[in-house]
């Protein structure tokens, strides 16, 4: 395995996309996380997601430093800009990438559930899935 330090722009777009798909479109169902986020104001929901995404970035940096036995420079706070959400497929791939870059013992329920929810939504929207028969 190798670890790369992802660009802040990826984290910005992931956070914006999670807000878009969880809070506004309600496309990602992740009980109880989505219900908690959807019960907040837009600003509170965005803050919850941004805080978690910032931690993913921090864990990515720690993983990078540990992997390459480096003493990384101080990681400054994540500065979020207003960016557009990406496609659900792009979000899914980036969530997988972020998860792969974290080699610490840190576990994120949001990261795990959002990755699975995005995959489920992508599959559910496929015509082949819609045409497939249930087991009963």
Instruction: Give me 80's structure tokens.
Output: 């979020």
Q: What is the pTM of this model?
A: 0.93
Q: Is residue 59 part of a domain?
A: yes
Residue 72, pLDDT > 70, answer no
- pLDDT at residue 136 tops 90: no
Residue 3 lies in a domain: no
What average pLDDT does range 31-35 have in this prediction?
Answer: 94
In a domain, 1, yes or no: no
The tens digit of pLDDT for each residue in 83-121 reads: 999 999 999 999 999 999 999 999 999 999 999 999 999
Q: Which domain holds residue 36?
A: 8-128
Number of domains in the chain: 1
In the prediction, which pLDDT does 24 show?
Answer: 97
Q: What confidence score (pLDDT) does residue 30 get?
A: 94
């Amino acid at each position: 395995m190798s670890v790369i330090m992802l660009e802040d722009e990826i984290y910005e777009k992931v956070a914006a996309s999670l807000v878009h798909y969880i809070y506004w479109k309600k496309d990602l169902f992740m009980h109880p996380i989505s219900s908690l986020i959807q019960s907040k104001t837009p600003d509170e929901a965005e803050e919850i997601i941004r805080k978690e995404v910032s931690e993913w970035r921090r864990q990515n940096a720690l993983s990078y430093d540990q992997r390459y036995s480096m003493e990384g420079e101080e990681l400054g706070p994540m500065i979020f800009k207003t960016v557009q959400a990406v496609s659900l497929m792009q979000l899914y791939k980036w969530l997988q990438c972020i998860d792969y870059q974290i080699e610490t013992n840190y576990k994120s329920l949001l990261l795990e559930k959002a990755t699975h929810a995005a995959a489920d939504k992508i599959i559910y929207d496929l015509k082949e899935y819609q045409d497939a028969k249930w087991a009963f």
